[in-house]
Amino acid sequence: MSTAKTTHKPTRPTEDEVSAAESVLRRDYYADVAFAAESLMVIASDRDSFFRALSGMTCTQSGHQRVIYTGKAMKGVLFSTQDADLALQQGVINLSHCNELPWEGLMSCIFERDILEKLDELGVDVNDDDTFGKGE
């Protein structure tokens, strides 16, 4: 019986492997965005109910899992095409009270923008009364 130890030297992932992993995570994020957008259109009966539901979904206390869980929020910020700095510059997120980035608050803003952008891509105008069958 051999007592020689074999050591396995870890290797860094290749750029292609990193790109493939990022692609999967980005697709997963945007699948959540699309599902959230479609869900909002199913439950909303008018503009007010749409924006109430959107606000609830992006709430940092009890909203969508992409918003309330720090790890998922970090990944969402990373993979969204939205500019995270914009939320910071507009004062939406206040960094003065803490030493670390409030990922959930940042993701709340970004997730909302991504949902609205997805609905826009689908040709849905959430500001139009006719969208909800309530137009005159």
pLDDT, tens digit (0-9, with 9 covering 90-100), for 119-130? 999 999 998 878
Task: Give the integer Cα–Cα distance in Å for 32 and 23.
Answer: 14
Q: State the DSSP string of 35-89.
A: HHHHHHHHH-SSHHHHHHHHHHHT-TTTS-HHHHSHHHHHHHHHH-SS-HHHHHH
Closest CA to 32 of 5, 67, 62, 56: 67
The arithmetic mean of pLDDT across residues 1-16, rounded, is 79
CA distance 68 to 51: 19
Is residue 30 included in any domain, yes or no?
Answer: yes
Query: Does residue 132 lie within any of the structural domains?
Result: no
What does the mean pLDDT of the chain come to? 83
Range of the domain at 119: 21-126
Report the domain count for the chain.
1
Percent of the chain with pLDDT over 90: 34
Over residues 10-29, the mean pLDDT reads: 90
pTM: 0.77
